Amino acid sequence: MSQIRKPANRFKAKKTRLVKSFLIKHKFIPQGRIILPGDKSIAHRALILSALSCGRTILKNFPIHEDSLATLNALSVLGVKIRRNKGIVLVSGKGRQGLKSPGKPVFVNNSGTTLRLLLGVLAGVSFKTKIVAGKYLSLRPMSRVNIPLRLMGAQIVAQNRGREEYAPITINGGNLKGIVYRPKVASAQVKSAILLAGLFAKGRTKVIEQLNTRDHTERMLKVFGVNIIVNNRSITLYPTQGLNSPGQVYIPGDISSAAFFIVLAAIIPKSRVVIEKVSLNPGRSGIINVLKRMHAVIKVSTSQANKPVGLEPWGNLLISSSKLKGAVVYPGEIPSLVDELPILMVAACFAEGVTKIKGVNELRVKETDRVNSMVVNLKKMGADIRVEKDGLMESIIIHGQGGLCGAKLESFGDHRTAMSMIVAALAAAGKSEIDDIGCINKSFPGFLKALKSLE
């Protein structure tokens, strides 16, 4: 992180450890440059594929937070040797054979990506593993992964409530066969679980998506030498005798973390923020496209794109304060900005005119019901926001009024809700207080420090 200066008393935490509630007293004008920790989605995949390959892989700009540690710890419990030192993680993989029955349940905390991708990996090994999740993840639906993995031959027992399945999950894998599968939900986690299982299945595995979702797994599999053919929304993977480590993988900055700073700089007058080396994967950069349509002043420079190992495009962003206008977000765009919808709702409140975000249903099954958490919080700040139902499709409608007012807000224990509301509060008129912001540690423990560096 560049430009870290002593924090001025513009906004301060009520408790010194910044884990309980957050009190925002004054506005500030964000200015400066930041480099963000590596992308969370890429980090999970880099760890998993390094563990499955033979040899050492160095992961650079690796982000340390609760979710990445969930994958790291789960793989360690399964017998993979992993060491970490600051932003570098070293994985010593021994191939699929290197994974050993842990003899105790594997705890994945609240990381949905860890749980769903790990199920894909464990479907391919012939021992039984019980996976236990934290309190938020235990409420999230798991049939979407269990169903295709069972079709491939894995034996899976999960908690049943109504017609849905939840963690804890016990999986007994091995002897899989490839399938052709069309997931019912647009989910990169589901696609990735099937592809990971397909690595060690008999015959080819094909996933046909209804909407394009993030393709980090496909890109990373190619880097590790797997025969995978991507034809728009159809992905064909051929089983492998073994993955080849590229030696090192550079993980560009997390665009989902960047989104909070992009919106902050766009909605606060006189701001100017540069975000360096951020991931610009087209499956993730929907937030930039939509904000540009909303007249945000964002300059993207990709001259360095593709230089780092990892085949992931990245670049620098320069964001200046902007006069935002409302826009329509279409269902086909949702997967490319699904995690950024909470902060996009904040941006829409600062815009002039109507923003309609169509097809937000998946937001209901994230760490919390983010439709509810954002509507409740933004209404408290005076927003004109409502949910509209058209058949099965839910949309959010916001009549932007060019600003918000301070209020007493809640994180609902959800990291992205917490960070979105901190951004909203920093740009709003008057004081705000946000309860329970310790959840930020799930994806971005350095968030407040990064904010302060822009003061």
Q: Write out the residues near ligand S3P by the rule CB under 6 A.
A: 41, 113, 187-189, 192, 214, 338-339, 362
Structure tokens at 315: 């670049």
User: How far from 455 is each of 97, 260, 446, CA to CA, in Å?
Assistant: 50, 15, 15
Least spacing, CB of residue 36 vs ligand S3P, in Å = 16
Least spacing, CB of residue 127 vs ligand S3P, in Å = 25
Least spacing, CB of residue 348 vs ligand S3P, in Å = 20
User: How far from 145 is each of 67, 106, 212, 247, 341, CA to CA, in Å?
Assistant: 19, 18, 17, 30, 24
Least spacing, CB of residue 393 vs ligand S3P, in Å = 16
Q: Which is nearer to ligand S3P, 94 or 222 (CB)?
A: 222
Continuous segment of H or E residues that includes residue 312:
none
Burial of 403 (0-12, 13-18, 19+ CB in 10 A): middle
Least spacing, CB of residue 370 vs ligand S3P, in Å = 10
Q: Which is nearer to ligand S3P, 185 or 405 (CB)?
A: 185
User: Is residue 339 annotated as part of the catalytic site, yes or no?
Assistant: yes
Least spacing, CB of residue 188 vs ligand S3P, in Å = 4
Q: How many other C-beta atoms are found inside a 10 Å radius of the C-beta of residue 402?
A: 12
| Angle at CA of residue 398, ends 389 and 27, nearest 5° | 145
SS3 track for 180-228:
EECCCCCCHHHHHHHHHHHCCCECCEEEECCCCCCCHHHHHHHHCCCCE
Catalytic residue among 67, 254, 339, 436: 339
Structure tokens at 59: 């992961």
Structure-derived torsion over alpha carbons of residues 270, 320, 443, 20, reported in degrees to the nearest 10: 10
Burial of 270 (0-12, 13-18, 19+ CB in 10 A): exposed
Q: Which is nearer to ligand S3P, 286 or 406 (CB)?
A: 286
Q: Are 125 and 78 in contact (CB under 8 A)?
A: no
Continuous segment of H or E residues that includes residue 256:
helix 255-267
Q: Distance (Å, rounded) from C-alpha 348 to C-alpha 327? A: 8
Q: Which is nearer to ligand S3P, 215 or 410 (CB)?
A: 215
How far from chain centre, in Å, is Cα 68? 11
Q: Distance (Å, rounded) from C-alpha 24 to C-alpha 21? A: 10
Structure-derived torsion over alpha carbons of residues 357, 262, 219, 96, reported in degrees to the nearest 10: -100
Least spacing, CB of residue 319 vs ligand S3P, in Å = 22
Q: Are 44 and 254 in contact (CB under 8 A)?
A: no
Q: Which is nearer to ligand S3P, 66 or 339 (CB)?
A: 339
Q: Which is nearer to ligand S3P, 322 or 336 (CB)?
A: 336
DSSP 3-state of 275: strand
Least spacing, CB of residue 131 vs ligand S3P, in Å = 17
Query: Would you please indicate which residues are annotated as catalytic (active-site) residues?
Result: 339
